[in-house]
Amino acid sequence: MGKREQLYEGKAKKVFATGSADYVIVSYKDDATAFDGTKKGRISGKGVVNNRMSNFLMSLLEKAGIPTHFVEELSEREALVRRVSIVPLEVIVRNISAGSFAKRFGVEEGIVFDRPTIEFSYKNDELHDPMINEYHALALGLATEDEIETIKSMAFKINDILKEYFLGLGIKLVDFKLEFGRTSDGEIVLADEISPDTCRFWDAKTNEKLDKDRFRRDLGGVEEAYSEMMRRVFGK
Ligand code: UDP
């Protein structure tokens, strides 16, 4: 399925049409943004890491029974995925306090929760992605009650699978953001990406940050962190 016209350009990816209405090609860029797009930069090689890692993790999840948009890796930076309409919710699962959770609730980072938490943000750039609860999402018609139940149960199952997988690589999965899409037949599938841009990864022994927080917080060693995550997952 060849690459046709560009349909969309986001902060970290471009999306292209294919010969089929049911599939699109995503192309991962090295551009990085943070803090609602106010901090901009480039992380050399990031697009390759995020494409390969996301494709690998989506395949792993598929094998565990989670439907995803992923179809096939096309190149270092490109993947063929099912075309979906994105449910305008960012779904955040947390195992350990960090980032906006620590700030909002006035607690330190690194508190290990007895049970994972889930929260939603309304994907809306003009409103700066405000936090939203399920009742608000229903009232706004962003998703149906059934869809929200499906999304929650998939998100927790994904957490169980990924948490165990990364622990095997000596990595704590602190928190992560998921996005879901509806296929043309109304099925809810995992979409977007799973990568160091969208997850917090801490080394299990040293708690060293191996994710986009190195860019957000100017910690240095940004490219090295992405390469290290690539090495842990692919062994090179
Ligand atoms: N996250 C994301 N995109 C966003 C907001 C958050 O991928 O627009 C991810 C982030 O990388 C982290 C998790 O979701 O793994 C929780 O982020 P948090 O709410 O703590 O926000 P942040 O501190 O990143 O602003």
pLDDT tens for 137-179 read 999 999 999 999 999 999 999 999 999 999 999 999 999 999 9
Angle, in degrees to the nearest 10, between helices 46-63 and 145-167:
110
According to CATH, the topology of domain 85-221 is D-amino Acid Aminotransferase; Chain A, domain 1 (3.30.470)
CATH number of the domain at 6-82, please?
3.30.200.20
**Residue 129 CA: which ligand 1 atom is closest?**
8
pLDDT of residue 34: 97
In order of 33, 108, 186, the CA distances from 226 in angstroms are 15, 25, 35
In terms of Cα–Cα distance, which of 146, 85, 159, 83 is closest to 118? 159
Q: What is the mean pLDDT of residues 59-80?
A: 98
pLDDT of residue 1: 79
Distance 1 CA to ligand 1 centre (A): 33
Percentage of the residues of the chain whose pLDDT score is greater than 70: 100
Does 99 contact ligand 1 (Cβ within 6 A)? Answer: yes
**Residue 200 CA: which ligand 1 atom is closest?**
15
pLDDT surpasses 80 at 236: no
Does 210 contact ligand 1 (Cβ within 6 A)? Answer: no
Q: Domain-by-domain residue ranges, the chain?
A: 6-82, 85-221
**Residue 199 CA: which ligand 1 atom is closest?**
15
| Cβ–Cβ < 8 Å for 2, 15 | no
Angle, in degrees to the nearest 10, between helices 46-63 and 222-234:
30
Does 209 contact ligand 1 (Cβ within 6 A)? Answer: no
pLDDT tens for 17-39 read 999 999 999 999 999 999 999 99
- Protein residue with its CA nearest to atom 24 in ligand 1: 99
pLDDT tens for 86-144 read 999 999 999 999 999 999 999 999 999 999 999 999 999 999 999 999 999 999 999 99
The token pair that represents 193 in the structure block: 């990406």
CA 131, 146, 184: angle at the middle one, nearest 5? 95
Indicate the top mutation candidate among 111, 172, 177 to test ligand 1's pocket, ranked by most ligand atoms within 8 A of CB.
177
